[in-house]
Structure 1
Amino acid sequence: MAGETGRLSRSGRMCRVAVLLAVAAAVTAGTLGEDDRSWPFAPMVQFAFKVDTNGEIHSLGIEAVDVTGRPLVVPLGGGGIGLERAEIEGQATRIENEPQRLQAIAVMWASYAPQRPRLATVHLVDTVSTLRDSTVVGKRRTTVATWSVAHPAQPGER
């Protein structure tokens, strides 16, 4: 009959318990030793911290110099090259250790803005805002990594 429920079999209960234990173990392991790459079994670290009212806020971004020598800020997010700031922040250590990863930014730029001059150099930059009583009292910018684009006219070429 419709709407009638029966009892779950012993094997059905055991299967559900096994799945529950596996998910609980993955979440526990992820929380103890993983990062964003392991989400949803690990915390989203970009939201897992508190900012000191007299501390610093770090904000990573992408800047570049095009082939005409003009400096520019590469727009991130849906209205930009399609790469979110969180993705840059999650890869910051890898980019710092392997700046050639910034080549992908030049490739994305070429498809995002095909009418604009291509990028010649790409920089990963950290803008640090210093807080005093929760008010920004100073800013400084540091270049974390720099990459000279291979084949600026056709950055996707190898």
Structure 2
Amino acid sequence: MGSEPAVRKISRVGVGWRLGVTAVALTVLTFGQLHDTNDYFPLGSLSQYATPRDMDGTVRSVYMLADTTGGDQVRVPLNPGGVGVGRADIESQLDRIVADPSLLQGIADAWSELHPEADPYVRLYVMRDTFQLEDGLQQGTPTTEELTTWEVRR
């Protein structure tokens, strides 16, 4: 049988460094929770996962549509490969986007930069479908509303 490895004590500097990093992480987490923001992910608000849903309530789904230079209306791919941002990013900033639709210009610009071969967007629509649930299952067709639009600038 071999000898046990020697146990080393952490120095005061090591303890201080670890406590400092822990304090910073907890401060950022607390700030993110109090301000209900995902800007500090993964130390942001996790409330979207912490609330139960009413099995007989409603579910809202935000998405975007775009008119293209080719005359088509397409669904905007809200993912890193599509326009560089996900649907959750749009949902977390929805109040700001509705108040200032010019923020959507970045979505159109990102599409053109990421997909130079595709028809550029000329108009963007932020839409929301509301589904009624009964026992957790969708009932009927969703109600669709247009939250805001943006004419893309060239």
What TM-score results when the alignment is normalised by the length of structure 2?
Answer: 0.80
Listed as ranges, the gaps of 5+ residues in structure 2 are: none
Within 5 Å, give how 1:16-95 maps onto structure 2. 16-95=18-97
Q: Secondary structure at the match of 2:104?
A: helix
Check 1:6–1:63 CA distance in 2 against 1; reply closer, same or farther (3 A cut): same
User: Is 2:150 aligned against 1:144?
Assistant: no
Using the alignment, how far apart are the partners of 2:117 and 2:75 within structure 1? 17
**RMSD, aligned α-carbons:** 2.5
Asked whether the 8 Å contact 2:32–2:39 carries over to 1, the reply is no
Aligned residues: 150
Q: In structure 1, list runs of 5 or more residues that go unmatched.
A: 152-158
Distance in 1 of aligned mates of 2:52 and 2:21 = 33
Quick one: which amino acid aligns to residue 98 of structure 1? Answer: D
- 1:98-149 Cα offsets, whole Å, 9 max, x none, are 1011112222222344333322210111111111111111301111110011
Q: Is the 8 A contact 2:33 2:46 kept in 1?
A: no
Name the CA shift for 1:32/1:82 in 2 (closer, same or farther; >3 Å).
closer
* Partner in structure 2 of residue 155 of structure 1: none
Shift of 1:57: 1.1
Q: Distance in 1 between matches of 2:11 and 2:114?
A: 56
When normalised by structure 1's length, the TM-score is 0.78
SS at match of 1:13: helix
- Name the amino acid aligned to 2:123: T
How far apart, in 2, do the equivalents of 1:48 and 1:85 lie?
A: 19
Q: Contact 1:80/1:112 (CA < 8 Å) preserved in 2?
A: yes
Distance in 2, matches of 1:24 and 1:83, equals 27
Partner SS for 1:36:
coil
Query: Aligned residues: percent identity?
Result: 28
